[in-house]
């Protein structure tokens, strides 16, 4: 049975790995003692906190996650949102697309900045929330790899926290370039590839308190860069905001009390989001 203890033990191991050549021996000893204590106590928390986490594809996963998406403490959004907004703020009001708009988080911001906003998403339940949140926007059901918009329709496109759900981000990146006018701006954000390698994924807890996971894929920077080149997109900026101490409560999902020092050592300073600003040549 999967348990919360596996996440805490993994964090202890990561803390050990990050510091094994630089920490004092005493500190390394604390890591090993905590690991051994928790691992040898399967009937005590955190090992006894059992988790049933079904794996979902995008539509089934976000149909469940839509019930809690806007209420859940999300450590990724905490670092991603200011970075995306800083890049979007450089673009004057015009025609803007929020691709994979979800519940309309960025669409609402773009509308408030005076853009004429369109959006697209593959999950009806997420789109319904976005329609209630941004009634002025033209929000359509559709796929990132086949956007329901004309060539050159937008001055700005944002695609946030979605590309890592695709096994290959290339076709979606080509579509995003197609719907931008020459000189238009594309802002992409996602969970950082390093976090995906460390087990980061689309983990959520729905409104009834049940966890789930939306399948996610690791894309290294090189894969993004190759897709940008093929689509005629030039990199203007690449931002990699890191996990800070204030993010740990949300990141640990309430488990930090079991291993506070390990959570700090393992996760603080780790890049949590990858945010690109690109221009369509
Ligand atoms: C983590 S949510 C992000 C929502 C919003 N962009 C935000 O940042 O708050 C990911 C969204 O991507 C959408 N999505 C994933 N794959 C998609 C695809 N191939 N085409 C369209 N939407 C997709 C999901 O339905 C979901 O609403």
In the chain (281 residues long), the average pLDDT of successive 10-residue segments reads: 96 98 98 98 97 96 97 93 98 98 98 98 98 98 98 98 98 98 98 97 95 97 98 98 95 94 98 98 92
Task: Say whether pTM exceeds 0.85.
Answer: yes
Q: Are the C-beta atoms of residues 189 and 160 closer than 8 Å to each other?
A: yes
Compute how many other C-beta atoms are within 10 angstroms of the C-beta atom of residue 16: 20
Looking at residue 134, its pLDDT comes to 98
Distance 201 CA to ligand 1 centre (A): 13
Residue nearest to atom 17 of ligand 1 (CA): 122
| Beta carbon of 126 within 6 Å of any ligand 1 atom | yes
Q: Name the closest-CA residue to atom 13, ligand 1.
A: 100
Contacts of 119 (CB under 8 A, 6+ apart): 97, 98, 99, 101, 104, 107, 127, 130, 134, 137, 138, 139, 140
Cβ neighbour number for residue 190 with a 10 Å cutoff: 24
Specify the pLDDT at position 30.
Answer: 98
Which residue, by CA, sits nearest to atom 15 of ligand 1?
162
pLDDT score, position 44: 97
Closest of 241, 237, 238, 239 to residue 271, by C-alpha: 241
If you measure from the C-alpha of residue 160 to the centroid of ligand 1, how many angstroms do you get, rounded to a whole number? 7
214 within ligand 1 shell (Cβ under 6 A) = no
Helices 105-112 and 124-133 pack at an angle, to 10 degrees, of 30
> What is the CB neighbour count within 10 angstroms for residue 212?
19
Cα-only R_g, the chain: 20
* 212 CA to centre of ligand 1 in angstroms: 16
Q: For residue 115, report the distance from its CA to the centre of ligand 1, in Å.
A: 20
**124 vs 107: CA distance, rounded Å:** 16
């Amino acid at each position: 049975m999967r348990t919360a203890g596996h996440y805490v033990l993994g964090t202890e191991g990561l803390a050990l790995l990050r510091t094994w050549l630089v920490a004092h021996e005493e500190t390394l000893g604390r890591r090993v003692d905590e690991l051994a204590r928790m691992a040898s106590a399967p009937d005590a928390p955190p090992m006894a906190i059992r988790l049933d986490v079904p794996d979902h594809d995008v539509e089934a996963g976000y149909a469940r996650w839509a019930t809690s998406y806007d209420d859940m403490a999300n450590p990724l959004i905490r670092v991603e949102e200011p970075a995306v907004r800083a890049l979007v703020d450089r673009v004057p009001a015009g025609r803007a697309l929020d691709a994979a708009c979800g519940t309309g988080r960025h669409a609402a911001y773009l509308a408030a900045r005076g853009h004429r906003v369109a959006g697209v998403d593959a999950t009806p339940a997420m789109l319904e929330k976005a329609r209630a949140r941004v009634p002025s926007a033209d929000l359509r059901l559709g796929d990132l790899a086949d956007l329901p918009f004309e060539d050159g329709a937008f001055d700005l496109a944002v695609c946030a926290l979605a590309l890592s759900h695709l096994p290959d981000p290339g076709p979606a990146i080509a579509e995003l370039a197609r719907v931008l006018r020459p000189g238009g701006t594309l802002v992409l954000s996602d969970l950082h590839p390093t976090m995906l390698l460390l087990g980061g994924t689309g983990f959520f807890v729905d409104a009834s308190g049940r966890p789930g996971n939306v399948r996610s894929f690791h894309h290294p920077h090189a894969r993004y860069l190759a897709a940008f080149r093929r689509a005629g997109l030039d990199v203007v900026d690449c931002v990699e905001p890191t996990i800070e101490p204030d993010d740990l409560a949300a990141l640990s999902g309430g488990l930090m009390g079991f291993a506070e020092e390990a959570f700090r050592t393992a996760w603080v300073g780790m890049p949590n989001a990858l945010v690109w600003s690109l221009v369509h040549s």
